[in-house]
């Protein structure tokens, strides 16, 4: 569950960044308003693809959880944004 939530956030952000690169008039508001839940399949990747993208420096893993959760289990190369 923890891993999947982090992957989901990462994939949403990377999809948005990629869409910005492909369409200069795209804004976050337009992206959210026009979001198609059927397109979620395109956002999903497996762990091997994630590792490949991390090694190439194309994505960053963001860990958004409470400090207690992060202390109990963390990914060393992720960036932590603690919930308060």
Residue 31 lies in domain: 2-80
- The model's pTM is 0.48
- By three-state DSSP, how is residue 79 classified? strand
Place of tokens 């804004």: 27
Total domains, the chain: 1
CA 51 to chain centre: 13
Rounded Cα gap, residues 32 and 20, in angstroms: 13
Q: For every one of its 84 residues, what pLDDT tens digit does the chain have, with 9 covering 90 and above? A: 455 555 566 666 666 556 555 555 568 788 778 878 777 777 788 889 988 999 999 999 899 999 899 889 988 888 999 988
Rounded Cα gap, residues 21 and 19, in angstroms: 5
């Amino acid at each position: 569950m923890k891993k999947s939530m982090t992957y989901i956030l990462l994939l949403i952000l990377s999809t948005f960044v990629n869409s910005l690169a492909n369409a200069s008039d795209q804004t976050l508001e337009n992206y959210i308003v026009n979001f198609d839940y059927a397109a979620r399949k395109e956002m999903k990747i497996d762990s091997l693809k994630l590792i490949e993208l991390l090694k190439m420096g194309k994505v960053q893993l963001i860990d958004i959880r409470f400090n207690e959760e992060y202390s109990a289990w963390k990914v060393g190369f992720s960036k932590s944004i603690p919930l308060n």
